[in-house]
Chain A
Amino acid sequence: MMEKKLRQEAKALLEQKRVDWIVGFESGSLKFTTTPLITRNVADTERLVINPFITNNLANFLTEIEGRVGIVAKGCESRSIVSLIQDNKVDREDLVILAVPCPGIIDLAKIERLVGKDRDELDDITRDGDKVSVKVDGKKKDFAVADVLFDHCLACELPTPTKYDILLGEPRQPTPDLKVSGQNIAGLKALTSAERWTKWQDEMSRCIRCYACRNVCPACFCERCFVEETEPQWVMPMPQWPDNLIFQVIRNIHVAGRCTDCGECERVCPVNIPLRSLTREMYDIVDELFKFKSGMDKDALPLMVHYEQEEAEEFFK
């Protein structure tokens, strides 16, 4: 089992002093949830878990931890790590990457919607290949895996990290399904420009400016964010839709070429703003214009550092 191997390896890494810290997942306090575990204590490695609910992008912690780190990495973490290496935010030498071939993470909100019950009322969720069984009120309900995974998992291009030190389990091949995961964006693109603007106004008027999207994002590593600057004050701290929208748009432009479409911002949003419809579009724009996929090649220059002599000239008079 992956979990057993992970615990052994993590324990060995700490005991042999090859790393100072282990960053992984442990069971959360609520049903089915997991929470990040950051530890330097050998005994804690017994609490490490790998299950279909390991949602967080752990690469977010790398810029804050000092010393050598053994990190549990799914495909999306590995891409964020590569992106951080490109930006010289972390050193590959300081990392031991424990690669998890990821079959996709289960979105509890989707299950709640399908079953029509709150997550606390579910007895068990198990995954077997392409089938997910939910036990509720003593009855078992089966769902296709494609109906319950996160949208960004359906579009996943890298389930198994390409750069790793220890591989746990068999590598998986990517099977990106852009049709289902891109439904939201396709729907938006079918609207007129004015309708899209109204749509984003409505979405952003819910924003409470908790900055969870920014704080959970491994690509958002600025020491001081423009929203907190007061001289000049770029955006008002008070949550009003124009400022909320500018915040999101600029955040997306600032992380262009770093955002790996890990979908964390959308998951943590407490008011359910479909943020992935922004990040994914930016990801596609960058790919279309500059053939750049973030977090794929650690030796490539970052998007905004590199340039070609002739490109994107059609935007200039």
Chain B
Amino acid sequence: MTQESEWEPKLLGFLCRWCSYAGADLAGTSRKKYPANIRIIKVPCSGRVDSLFILKALRLGFDGVLVSGCHPGDCHYQTGNYRARRRIAITKKFLDYIGIEPQRLQASWVSASEGGKFAKVVTDVTKGLKEVGPNRLFERKNDGEKAKAGSEGPARTKKG
């Protein structure tokens, strides 16, 4: 049914309960327009977001993940967003290394008063995802064939 030109990316947003979620609320109440591509999950803090959530979302077929929290220094739990920042930085680099487009993982700082910024972030991320294209990362089903080829491939014998 859907043609390639009509394809809309699906974006999963992890928004922190104290800033970004309230920011998204404000965007709504102040009638800012932003793409409907985002599905939002409320988390207590951006520091709650394990890289596992991100990979799982991609595995389930989301085209991108947005993690959003309070600005540095504003975390309700003092340090949660600093930890999120370190985790997301290494995750993004590592995803790039194994061959997942790093644009699929985005992060932002949006405070409770930044409804406009939230709308802009979602617009930008959605636009970026349209350029990256649909998530076909986990489409390949065959396992056995390649596994066989792989074991014959490199001259690596058993190890001690």
A: residues with CB less than 8 A from B are 30, 32-33, 53, 55, 107-109, 112-113, 119, 188-189, 193-203, 205-206, 226, 234, 240-242, 245-246, 249-250, 252-254, 256, 267-272, 278, 281-282, 285-286, 289-290, 303-305, 307, 309-313, 315-317
Whether the pair B90, A194 counts as a contact (CB closer than 8 A) is no
* Contact status of A108 and B72, CB under 8 A, knowing A200-B98, A242-B59, A290-B86: no
A205's partner among B106, B137, B143, B159 (CB-CB below 8 A) is B143
List residues of chain A with CB within 8 A of the CB of B1. none
Interface string of B16-57 (1 = CB under 8 A from A): 000000000000000000000000000000000001100110
Whether the pair A253, B91 counts as a contact (CB closer than 8 A) is yes
Please tell me the size bucket of the interface on B: 35 or more
Q: Tell me, in angstroms, the Cα distance from A197 to B97 when the chains sit together.
A: 9
Residue in A closest to B68 when the chains form the complex, CB atoms = A317
Whether the pair A307, B83 counts as a contact (CB closer than 8 A) is yes
Interface string of B137-160 (1 = CB under 8 A from A): 110100110110111001111111
Residue in A closest to B156 when the chains form the complex, CB atoms = A272
Whether the pair B99, A267 counts as a contact (CB closer than 8 A) is no
Q: How far is the CB of B108 from chain A (nearest CB, A)?
A: 4
Whether the pair B90, A285 counts as a contact (CB closer than 8 A) is yes
* Contact status of A289 and B159, CB under 8 A, knowing A193-B99, A203-B150, A250-B55: no
List residues of chain A with CB within 8 A of the CB of B93. 285, 289
List residues of chain A with CB within 8 A of the CB of B109. 316-317
Q: Is B88 an interface residue, CB under 8 A from the partner?
A: yes
Whether the pair B157, A109 counts as a contact (CB closer than 8 A) is yes
Whether the pair B140, A201 counts as a contact (CB closer than 8 A) is yes
Whether the pair A194, B143 counts as a contact (CB closer than 8 A) is no
* Contact status of A282 and B89, CB under 8 A, knowing A112-B157, A242-B138, A310-B72: no
Q: Tell me, in angstroms, the Cα distance from A113 to B157 when the chains sit together.
A: 7
B160's partner among A108, A206, A246, A312 (CB-CB below 8 A) is A108
Q: Is B101 an interface residue, CB under 8 A from the partner?
A: yes
Residue in B closest to A229 when the chains form the complex, CB atoms = B52
List residues of chain B with CB within 8 A of the CB of A240. 143
Whether the pair A304, B83 counts as a contact (CB closer than 8 A) is yes
Interface string of B47-86 (1 = CB under 8 A from A): 0000110011001000000000000110000010011011
Q: Is B121 an interface residue, CB under 8 A from the partner?
A: yes
Whether the pair B52, A250 counts as a contact (CB closer than 8 A) is yes
Q: How far is the CB of B111 from chain A (nearest CB, A)?
A: 13
A303's partner among B86, B100, B154, B157 (CB-CB below 8 A) is B86
Q: Is B107 an interface residue, CB under 8 A from the partner?
A: yes
Whether the pair A315, B107 counts as a contact (CB closer than 8 A) is yes
Whether the pair B146, A32 counts as a contact (CB closer than 8 A) is no
Residue in A closest to B66 when the chains form the complex, CB atoms = A317
List residues of chain B with CB within 8 A of the CB of A189. 97
Residue in A closest to B125 when the chains form the complex, CB atoms = A317
Whether the pair B151, A267 counts as a contact (CB closer than 8 A) is no
List residues of chain B with CB within 8 A of the CB of A202. 146-147, 149-150
